[in-house]
Amino acid sequence: MVDMHGNSPKTLRQELLKQRNEFAAGSSYPHAKESLILAIGEFLSNEGKLLRSIALYWPIQDELDIRAPLLIWASSDEGRRLALPHARPDKHLDFYEWRDGDSLIPSKHGVPEPSPSNEDRPILNPDCIFIPCVGWSSSIANGKTHYWRLGYGGGYFDRTLSALRKKNPKLICIGIGFDWQKLDDAQWSAQTHDEPLDMLLTEFGLLR
């Protein structure tokens, strides 16, 4: 548990990113990383059979690299597609098809992105999106548990999810995080503009 009660979201993010950096360099990280990658593989083996396109992320700042299990998922059926986000000036994301080995361009935030001018890689509306968490929380409403993501503060994913869910109500959005990143209500609680996650994957498995 992160001891950051009563601080601003900006300060909380900075502390969480610092702790993530320390965690990634620590002795417990390899086992936690392996467990989370296995949990992703298990999800893809079971529920991934029904999916045709999955959006992932290019890892930065000690985010978990999830490319390997997703490339295995995509290569096992030629109808399956992977996509990476491209940040638009209006702070929405478009997802373009991505294949291993594609050249990427850095965004203004330094994140490697697909080029919108590559005519061989069309925009995809994914069936499923994997999204990394800086922190995460859960809440219960009407007897149902909801999971929430604390991100970097730009609002890109919340705007994008809101728009994509109107087009595709069956869209699955899965947060990727470690158990230690869980926040309680005193540290952070979701705001009205925050979009809920459909599921959360940690080193202890799938939460839904």
- Give tens-digit pLDDT for 140-172: 988 899 999 999 988 899 999 999 999 999 999
Distance CA 22, CA 12 (A): 15
In a domain, 153, yes or no: yes
In a domain, 4, yes or no: no
pLDDT of residue 5: 52
The tally of domains found in the chain comes to 1
Contacts of 181 (CB under 8 A, 6+ apart): 2, 16, 20, 133, 134, 135, 136
In a domain, 3, yes or no: no
Is residue 22 a known part of a binding site? no
Distance CA 83, CA 85 (A): 7
Euclidean distance between the first and the last CA atom of the chain, given in angstroms as a whole number: 20
pLDDT of residue 1: 46
In a domain, 193, yes or no: yes
Distance CA 40, CA 154 (A): 26
The mean pLDDT value for 173-179 works out to: 97
Domain with 41, as residue range(s), is 9-207
Is the per-residue pLDDT at 35 higher than 80? yes
The mean pLDDT value for 70-91 works out to: 95
pLDDT of residue 9: 85
- Which two tokens mark 94? 């478009």
Mean pLDDT for the chain overall: 93
- φ, ψ dihedrals at 32, nearest 5°: -65, -40
DSSP secondary structure letter of residue 197 = B
Domain harbouring 156, CATH code: 3.40.50.10420
The mean pLDDT value for 58-67 works out to: 96
pLDDT range class, residue 137, cuts 50, 70, 90: very high
Q: Write down the pTM of the prediction.
A: 0.93
